[in-house]
Chain A
Amino acid sequence: MLELKNISFNVQDEKKEKEIIRRLDLKIDDGKFVVVTGPNGGGKSTMAKLIAGIETPTEGRILFNGEDITEKSITERAKLGISFAFQQPARFKGITVLDLLRIAAGKQLSVSACCEYLSEVGLCARDYINREVNASLSGGELKRIEIATVLARGTQLAIFDEPEAGIDLWSFQNLIRVFERMRTANTRSILIISHQERILEIADEIVVLANGQVAKHGKKEEILPELLGTNNAVGVCGCLKRRDDCD
């Protein structure tokens, strides 16, 4: 179980302190598929980074399985069972897809095991396994490889920061299938930052984050009807249209 207790996060903005997250409390139960939505600038990505240890809260505590991980590094949290798929994945010259999946798995994965993870995200393994994770890959390919690294880690908690941002329609359809499958397998907690109606639809729980605080948190059945037709739950065309301003 993941618990955020009274979390605040401030940044310095032209000599004045700006609050990004304000005394936020949130509990993610084991095995739940939770989608976090809310307006741009509401603090969604920041919250995800605070959980992974990429940012450190100004105040508050983060507990993972009852253990206080607030002071732990990114590496330590990764080893405890937290995975993170970036909104804009890094590119690496010379590191191949196979290398990256092996690093993610933490062992010398067999080629066939790596291929399974790639097939899972809809990539033809044979074409990609020896490709470098560099600028030659398209945004959609990179994004799917990013998700494959999270699958290869197989951790208790997986966080996806706007998985739909920057990918084409075809890749998006594929992505939804990946999450639907993860939803069915449902052995771990999944936290997805997304405005996407299709992703919100497969959630167990929905969290609406606004002004750095939890505005709503509840079962999908309760929350989703209120969101439909707003910017917090956009259809695929809407999202692709406003892709440029997705944060």
Chain B
Amino acid sequence: MIDEIQKRLLAEIADLHTVPSGAYNIRANSQMAARNTTANIDIISKKDVSGIDIRIKPGTKNESVHIPVVLSASGIKETVYNDFYIGENCDVVIVAGCGIHNCGVQDSQHDGVHRFFVGKNSKVKYVEKHYGEGDGRAKRILNPVTEAYLEEGSSMEMEMVQIKGVDSTVRTTKAELAANASLVVRERLMTHGTQTAKSIYETYLNGDGASADVVSRSVAREESFQEFSSRITGNAACKGHTECDAIIMDKARVLAIPQLDANNVDAALVHEAAIGKIAGEQIIKLMTLGLTQEQAEEQIINGFLK
């Protein structure tokens, strides 16, 4: 059964206010709380380790899979393996995410390992949101690992969002792209307090015509620390772009390490990184429109992370 706290967490991470339509698997406090499969999407529990296999039949279009995880009991520490097998010519939306409510004294930690095997010419939109709450002294820790293997002509768009309440994160994302496959990553991150967030992206463009666009926008407040490390390796005639754009505030620290590795004369790779505080002229402009300095900063941050 899903309680009120867990319902709220689900709303935060998956915009779920009721049971989702389509296939879903809701994991609450290390147990399966609800599951639904459809004619085209099957979900099977793994036998050797904790986790599930999600199998999507070739040609499945306009369907969605929700696999949210919520932790509301203090002291849970788990690693979960979820594998997505997406057939050829699919067009699907996958929503994952983890919400932790920890009011206790023991740390809560969820490490999700997600692997995506995307079939030829399939299109996948993947949304992953992280959220933490609770006033306990214990830490809320999330270390997601995402691996994506994109076959010829397939495309994947990843939206990674972590705005609030997660004390420590190491996000590791690795993608391998075959010919004409494309990957778009949009990361949105905000840290505050003494939080640390580390994002590591490794993208391998292995086939001609492959392309990747890995962009992170983040805001680091108070004494938090962020590290963004993104490497694109071009092994074929491909296009790659990675960008980190960060707003730094208070006493925060941001480390951006974009890397490009070209192994082919036709690999066109670009990186950009910018870290800076909110521009004074932006704050002044919004103040002349009647906002206070604090309201102006909030508007600028909200827009930036939108």
Shortest CB-to-CB span from A85 to chain B, Å, is 9
What is the chain B residue whose CB lies nearest that of A84?
B288
- Bound: A153/B291 CA distance, A: 12
| Residues on the B chain within 8 Å of A74, using CB | 284, 287-288
Beta-carbon contact of B299 and A103 below 8 Å: yes
CB of A52 closer than 8 Å to a CB of B: yes
Tell me the bound Cα distance from A89 to B300 in angstroms: 15
A90 & B289 in contact (Cβ 8 Å cutoff): no
The answer on a CB contact under 8 Å between B289 and A153 is yes
A113 to chain B, nearest CB (A): 16
Q: Is the CB of A78 within 8 A of B289?
A: yes
Q: Known contacts being A78-B290, A79-B290, is A95 close to B285, with CB within 8 Å?
A: no
Contact B303 A94 (CB under 8 A): yes
Question: Is the C-beta of A86 less than 8 angstroms from some C-beta in chain B?
Answer: yes
Q: Which residue of the partner chain, among B284, B289, B293, B305, contacts A103 with CB atoms under 8 Å? A: B289
Q: Is B49 an interface residue (CB 8 A)?
A: no
Docked CA distance A106–B305 (Å): 22
Q: Which of B245, B284, B288, B303 contacts A92 (CB 8 A)?
A: B303
Taking the complex as formed, is A70 at the interface, i.e. its CB lies under 8 A from any CB of chain B?
no
Tell me if B's interface is mostly helix, strand, loop or mixed: helix
Report the nearest B residue to A103, measured CB to CB.
B289
Residues in B with CB closer than 8 Å to A91 are: 282
A93 and B303 contact, CB distance less than 8 A: yes
Tell me if A90 and B281 are in contact (CB < 8 A): yes
Partner of A75, one of B287, B302, B304: B287
B292 touches A75 (CB 8 A): yes
Neighbour of B288 across the interface among A78, A88, A99, A106, CB < 8 A? A78
Given contact pairs A54-B288, A89-B285, A96-B303, a sample of 19 additional A-B residue pairs in the complex whose CB atoms are under 8 Å apart: A75-B290, A75-B291, A86-B285, A90-B282, A92-B300, A92-B303, A93-B217, A93-B303, A93-B304, A94-B304, A94-B305, A95-B303, A99-B299, A99-B303, A103-B286, A103-B290, A103-B299, A106-B290, A153-B290
- Give the A-binding residues of B (Cβ under 8 A): 217, 245, 279, 281-282, 284-293, 299-300, 302-306
